């Protein structure tokens, strides 16, 4: 288990071990450090998609859903060997963090703490459909999409039955009808019924206004992360042909208007 201990002051407390069960799929959320909007840049999103392709070459897993937001990502995945889930997420987060730090000329942690995961039986069809819809509804719930189509989620592959090169349909989706077209139509209607719950207001901690008035920065200064492993290249080119090819296939399969999306993608 990676990073099994957390230091709270002078006390060392063990982290609660993750419950990993065979036959489960896992809804995983990963956030940018300090919840910064680092993923708003298309070049970062393209590299993330490429990183997922490299991940699938390294580990056997099924990716059922993904949604790349401005400062966090949602995944619904099922590892063939459930015990490898921590290794899978560690490798993906390490690989993408090293890429992004090199691209953005920054150092230190890119991702915030450890990833959050919730597992449930793959045979729980209702839970699976609810989770798929929740992930695909994130852009709509955030208020910057009217519908469910979004360039950097795989909702389009469910409604239009396209192949984006990275994801596949969940068994719960395939059980919605006797044909793929019926499955797609029923999932679309299921999503249209979704009404996102209003998010709670951010609670301000005591002293924020005082510190702002005094011009004092909150929190401790950022420290450089020592001993980071290097990537196997000397110079970074965000428009690498292999990276662009993965992004084009994904966006073309999922965007509301693929022609316009691909023009913006460059």
Is the Cβ–Cβ distance between 102 and 231 less than 8 Å?
Answer: yes
pLDDT reported for residue 78: 97
**How far is 266 from 262, CA to CA, in rounded Å?**
6
Does residue 36 have a pLDDT over 90? no
Max mean pLDDT among 34-38, 113-117, 241-245 falls in 241-245
Mean pLDDT of the chain: 84
Instruction: Determine which of 11-25, 66-80, 108-122 has the lowest per-residue pLDDT on average.
Output: 11-25
Is the Cβ–Cβ distance between 102 and 73 less than 8 Å?
Answer: no
Whether the CA torsion 245, 72, 116, 9 is positive or negative: it is positive
Is the Cβ–Cβ distance between 155 and 149 less than 8 Å?
Answer: yes
**How far is 62 from 60, CA to CA, in rounded Å?**
7
Is the Cβ–Cβ distance between 103 and 236 less than 8 Å?
Answer: yes
196-227 pLDDT tens trace: 776 655 555 555 555 455 554 444 444 443 33
151-174 pLDDT tens trace: 999 999 999 999 999 999 999 999
95: closest CA among 111, 79, 80, 74?
111
Q: Which helix (H) or strand (E) holds 174?
A: helix 171-174
Domains parsed from the chain with CATH numbers: 18-197+239-265 (3.30.70.1290)
Cα atoms in the 13 Å half-sphere on the side-chain side of 190 = 23
**How far is 65 from 76, CA to CA, in rounded Å?**
5
């Amino acid at each position: 288990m990676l990073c099994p201990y957390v230091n709270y002051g002078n006390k060392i407390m063990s982290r609660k071990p993750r419950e990993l069960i065979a036959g489960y799929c896992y809804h995983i959320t990963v956030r940018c450090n300090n919840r910064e909007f680092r993923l708003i840049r298309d070049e970062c999103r393209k590299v993330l998609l490429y990183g997922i392709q490299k991940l699938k070459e390294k580990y056997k897993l099924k990716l059922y859903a993904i949604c790349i937001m401005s400062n966090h990502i949602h995944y619904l995945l099922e590892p063939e060997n459930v015990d490898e889930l921590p290794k899978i997420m560690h490798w993906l987060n390490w690989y993408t963090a090293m890429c992004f730090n090199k691209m953005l000329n920054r150092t230190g942690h890119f991702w915030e703490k450890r990833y959050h995961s919730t597992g449930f039986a793959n045979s729980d069809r209702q839970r699976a459909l609810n989770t798929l819809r929740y992930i695909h509804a994130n852009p709509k719930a955030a208020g910057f999409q009217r519908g469910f189509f979004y360039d950097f989620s795989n909702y389009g592959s469910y409604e239009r039955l396209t192949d984006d090169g990275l994801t596949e349909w969940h068994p719960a989706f395939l059980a919605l009808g006797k044909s793929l077209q019926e499955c797609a139509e029923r999932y679309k209607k299921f999503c249209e019924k979704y009404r996102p719950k209003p998010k709670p207001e951010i609670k301000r901690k005591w002293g924020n206004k005082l510190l702002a008035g005094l011009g004092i920065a909150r929190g401790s200064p950022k420290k450089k992360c020592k001993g980071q492993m290097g990537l196997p290249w000397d110079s970074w080119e965000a428009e690498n042909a292999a990276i662009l090819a993965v992004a084009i296939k994904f966006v073309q399969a999922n965007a509301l208007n693929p022609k316009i999306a691909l023009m913006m993608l460059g």
